[in-house]
Structure 1
Amino acid sequence: MKKILILLLGLVIVTCFNSCIEDDEPTFMINEEAIEAPLLVTPNSSVNLDQESADQQALTIVWEDANYNFETPVTYNIEVTAAGEGFDTPIEAAQTSERYYSWTVGELNSLAIAAGLEADTEGNLNIRVVSSLGTNDGVPADSNVLVITLTPYSTIIPVKDLFLVGNATAADWNNDNNNPPIVRNPANENDFSFKGRFLGGGDLAFKLLEIRGQWQPQWGTNDGTTVEVNDGTGSDPGVFSVPAEGYYEFNINIDDRTFSVSPYDASGATDYTAIGIGIIGSATPNGWDDDTDMTQSTFDSHLWYINDIVLIDGEAKFRTNSDWSTNWGADTALTGYGNQDGPNIPVTAGTYDVWFNDLDGSYVFILKN
């Protein structure tokens, strides 16, 4: 009998011990009204962005720790918007467990461009710090807002673009009518080409403009074999033309002043009208999660575009039907020729018009600011 009592007592002790082990993680109830949000102590200021000092430190922000009334690790997310935009869709600039963060001149400049500030124009960035607990941004608390005044610079090296104009093209004789660009050879800034539909015969013709909305500089031909230009100081050249409506390949070199036009067989090209084409990537508004759809030209079904898209520093590709079975990429920025499963296209922050031609995978990014 004594042995039985001892065994029962031991069983009770083991059961109680196991219950203690299972409940060894206490549950805390957080009074959200008692939370002290992080406090930015860095004053509002102006920052000089000098491109020649891109690797130098430009700005460090400091804040007082958030107080959740018990010891626990706190994560800080730094959010940035252009002044007047609010924080409904901020840029998530950084995440840290420290109570300070720094940017170089180049990093802060890219952040300003990504937020929508125009290059060479003074503007304000709003910065705040949001504290949270755990890995799921639990119990967030927003800091006060810091205002930084700066003038971002453009990081794009100026190069010539050429745009189609004329009644043989989609734009007609309108110099600011969403004129399609032709593709600059990434290996030769003076060499351009285009595969696409032209109208031909009679007085149907076209020229090339360097700047949409301006008639000069203007490129054409006076003798049908060589290229002439009016840079704004002379007379406008004659026109290019094709004999009949159809698809053609047009090539021009503005350095050696040569051009060629030849018929292009597009009869076997895939028609993507039903499934569409979009742009995707870390530089695009939806990141790698979803496409930003492009618009198909009503003049040329193989030509696609998207206007005024805000891109950030990152990468991009083109693909069909929001799927990777057909996609185009290349390793050259601004312009180039994408290949199936090619590398990601490098992108620098800015607002762009983006054009894509599914006949040859060519693309052109036209910087707007």
Structure 2
Amino acid sequence: MEASEVHILSARTALPGEPLDNAALARHFGMDELWEQWVDAFVGTRARHLSVDLGTRRLRSTLADLSAEAAAKALADAGVGPADVDLVVLGTATPDQLMPATVNVVADRLGIDGVPTYQLQSGCAGAFQALEVGRQMLRSGEYRTALVIGGELCSRHYDPDADLARLDSAELVNFVLFGDGAGAAVLTTRPAPGTPVVRRMLNRLTGLNRVPGQIVEWTGALDRRFADRSHIKEDYKAIEASVPVMSREIADELLDGLGWAPTDVDYLLPPQLSGRMTRRIVDGLGIPAAEEVSPVAAIANTGNAMPFFQLEEVLPQLAVGDRVLGVSVESSKWLKAGFALETV
């Protein structure tokens, strides 16, 4: 095996609390049955898991809690102990604090010390950035095993007392699209037959002179209810127009770079915006033979956790020779991200 080959040994995830379906969400915010039906039909997300208890307004779990849980499970599945981890990377848009960095809190809980740690601040592309940082450091030959984590606490930006009937669409959509969660993967350059090798990764900013599609203020509604501007806004119309096109460009670039045909892809891990949007994206990717891995309808958009939920589902299904394509678009400033895996 060449030193540059990086294998994914395991991927595991963590979710907070019980699933909150659209009916329960509608009851809490005093919305009628027609609103619930609109969410089901036009958004396509059935449920989500929230760290914030909407009834008590209390935070039940932090990003560090969820990340440490997912990472501990990933390490156990990989048969890797804390002393075997050479570096830790976390991608998130919603860290618990400015300092200490959440990645260091997680490492401490896992008993990991004396290694490089990195925390990347980004939206849906952050998990791919974290995977790429881990991969490139392993390829340097100085390190052999990396723990890569991605997660979000989107519910910190919920106002449990919001009057949804008075919100504009740019704010309202966020109450149904997003959920909380974390995931982790163990990467290694050690020989690992039967595991997927990362063949190619893509991380690229493409937002020059473009208005952001999503803006999230540093503090959420639970932290600063007195804010005189919206803490989170999403231009869903721009996202609907741009993400399917960008997704096709990402897939085409990854395939072209490897000399793979669309029919060579066995499993497709598409962007997980919502049930409805993901369906539209997949239809436009032109990879009809691949098996789609899309948990978004059941757990909502979990941001940087989502690629790990997809990997957790697909890894046990892989046979030698199987090829996997992962695609993601971050609408904040229009980032392209993706990876191509092949089981050896």
TM-score bin (small chain)? under 0.3
TM-score between both structures, scaled by the size of structure 2: 0.27
Whose helix fraction is larger, Structure 1's or Structure 2's?
2
Bigger relative CO (Cα 8 Å, ≥ 6 apart): 2
